[in-house]
Structure 1
Amino acid sequence: MKNLWRVLPFSFILLFLAGCGKQNLTALDPRGPVADMQHSLIGLSLLIMVFVIVVVAAIYVFVLIRFREKPGDNHIPEQVEGNKNLEIIWTAIPILLLIILAVPNVMDTFTLADTETDDDTLVVNVTGHQFWWEFEYPDLEITAGQDLYIPTDTRIVFNLEASDVIHSFWIPALAGKQDNVPGITNDMWIEAPEEGVYFGKCTELCGEAHWLMDFKVVAVDPDTFDEWAQGMAEPDSELIEPTEEVAAEGREVFEQNCLACHAVGGEGGNPQGGPDLTNFGERTVIAGFMEYDDESLEAWIRHPEEQKPGNLMPGFDQLDDDEMDSLIEYLNSLKVLDDE
């Protein structure tokens, strides 16, 4: 027990790391062909390393026991030249292991680098901002923010860019990381065979709120995706001109305070502004990380700097309670998919 204090720091480290599984951000549970390939390469590398460690450890223990100094035995061992057969073996085995590792690596690298598109490919331009993500579907002429909708069983090609500093795009369940670099376009592809929500993150230190730069990938069946895309491209007129009184008042507040940066239904916004809010009411988090409820939304609108330090959204604490309530009701009504 007297040495227990020595292991306590390691225990705290393990507990800390155990808490890093927020939103199930793990690459060890692959859900698509890209993640499967990368996971297989990790597994192959691990097996080879374990094999080398076991063999070296076994030889070390054997030599340690077989040739250990015995009591009373003080003679000097006979000095001999190198063993040609052993030298061939310990040279050939690493070469063989490298070939075993290199062949699938090279093959998968060419497969992963193939971002050619065809009529069945969905292209998405991904732009990293401080500290949010913009998703543009050029073929569909729509833009979304924070939530990336994709159809299942479809090849998705991403063109990755950044508007300010270097970011890094990572969806661990679907693919590895790729950098978003200002002035440079990188590309990658994924495919999601199953419907579901896959969590992503920026993995390049990009500023004060880097750790809060999360996003979601929502994989839906192709019919639902077509419905979503249609709703984003041609939203219901009530998104622009709500008929309910409170939401209509909220739309006026939105036009006076938010429309210069945020677009809804193709109206408003600017390239240096904030995310498109056409389907804001369908989100489950606010600003990529806050629980979606009216209280959190009000806190975000009034004091965004306190919630996500370093972000560029100004606060709107000047809104009175009635204006805030109507604005929140309007934002909650922004949906392009029918509620199920």
Structure 2
Amino acid sequence: MSRGKRLTLLLAVFAVFALVLTGCEEPAKSVFDPKGSAGEKNLDLIMLSVYIMTFVFVVVMAIYFYVLIRYRQKPGDNTIPKQVEGSMKMEMFWIIIPVILLVILAIPTLTTTFTLAEKPSEEEDALRVKVTAHQYWWEFYYPDLGIKTAQELHIPAGKRVHLELTSDDVVHSFWVPELGGKQDMTPGRTNHMWLDAKEPGVYAGRCAELCGASHALMNFEVVADEQSDFDKWVAKRQKPSSEPRTAEQEAGKKVFSQNCMSCHAIEGTELKTSGGKGPDLTGFGERQKVAGLLENNDENLDKWLKHPDEIKPGTYMPSFDFLNEKDMKNLKIYLESLE
């Protein structure tokens, strides 16, 4: 097999491999199906770069195959093609064309980047959220509403949300593929971005920066509600139902205060000023996921409490497998009662 044919075969194999890899992420998390204005702007940039790269690829491959066929070695033909090295016209051509293509890509890239990083004006009716990344969980604080939560970012559909992003430990990266692009989160620095969801739904979020053993498991969800439903959620978070209503919940609260309050806080109780190291557990019973990964049910909560490091390697969450069966049951009942 000639060198040219081997190269062609290699390119074909690479293209097929790349197509297979694009299917590794489920469609619900695709940047090619944006559900918000920021996501649409990012898709426009992606498609522009794809068009430019496709154009370059087609031109280069056309020249490649033309040269491959036109100047192939022929039986009895030992002539040497015309040499054009040192041609000023050719060198200028190969310089000017790439520069033009880079300018076409650079201008919208820069304008979009600065647009998506704009801070909200005082007149703008936008929701403001401070996002802090931890190993390996997410903290969301609504300064204008006095609400702090974790793992689920609740927003009203159709409204712009401005995010102030920082990290508590190492460099992380905030990314909700359907709603917007990635933004680094650096300790000691606050970065800004905005996003919106044009329709209600639950959108998957990810950490897009390698941040430790459980980087791939550092997930969160953006829950976009109709404005009325979002207002109801805000009202419940501002006046949470956290006090025990049964003897089992009372017993579970006691277990919590003895084992968990050094890391976790719960609004609506005397435990609201405790914690700080771990996620705020106010409204835990209404969250869709345990640790941002598992469906919120008794079985998965039991797994998380007993063997957190098996679910998220490197987590600071300690194991509570030392609790007896009764205490563990009551603790789970209390946690699931938090609204």
Q: Shorter-normalised TM-score: what interval?
A: 0.7 to 0.9
Kept in 2, the 8 Å contact 1:121–1:156? The answer is yes
- Matched with 1:240 is 242
- SS, match of residue 192 in structure 2: strand
- Matched with 2:4 is none
Q: Deviations over 1:231-284 (max 9, x none)?
A: 11122xxx3322233223322322332233222225435464211111111122
Aligned AA (1:302): K
Cα shift at 1:88 = 5.8
Aligned AA (2:120): E
1:302 to 274, 281, 306: 306
- SS, match of residue 130 in structure 2: strand
Q: Give the alignment's TM-score, normalised by structure 1.
A: 0.85
Kept in 1, the 8 Å contact 2:261–2:274? The answer is no
Cα shift at 1:87 = 5.9
- SS, match of residue 299 in structure 1: helix
Residue 264 (structure 1) aligned with residue 266 (structure 2): yes
Residue 175 (structure 1) aligned with residue 177 (structure 2): no
Distance 2:325 2:103 in 1: 68
Distance 1:77 1:201 in 2: 55
Cα shift at 1:18 = 6.8
Distance 1:264 1:79 in 2: 78
Cα shift at 1:19 = 7.4
Q: CA RMSD in A?
A: 3.0
Pairing of 1:266-281 with structure 2 (within 5 A): 266=268, 267-268=271-272, 270=274, 272-281=276-285
- SS, match of residue 158 in structure 2: coil
Gaps of 5+ in 2: 1-9
Cα shift at 1:143 = 0.2
Cα shift at 1:102 = 2.4
* TM-aligned CA distance change 1:309 to 1:29, over 3 Å: same
Gaps of 5+ in 1: 1-5, 336-340
Pairing of 1:1-340 with structure 2 (within 5 A): 17=21, 20-21=24-25, 24-77=28-81, 89-118=93-122, 119-235=124-240, 239-266=241-268, 267-268=271-272, 270=274, 272-335=276-339
Kept in 2, the 8 Å contact 1:117–1:157? The answer is no
- SS, match of residue 182 in structure 2: strand
Q: Deviations over 1:31-69 (max 9, x none)?
A: 111111111111111111111111122223223333444
Distance 1:216 1:284 in 2: 9
Aligned AA (1:171): V
Distance 2:20 2:319 in 1: 33
Residue identity (%): 50
Q: Deviations over 1:175-221 (max 9, x none)?
A: 11111111111111111111100111112222222221111110111
Cα shift at 1:83 = 6.8
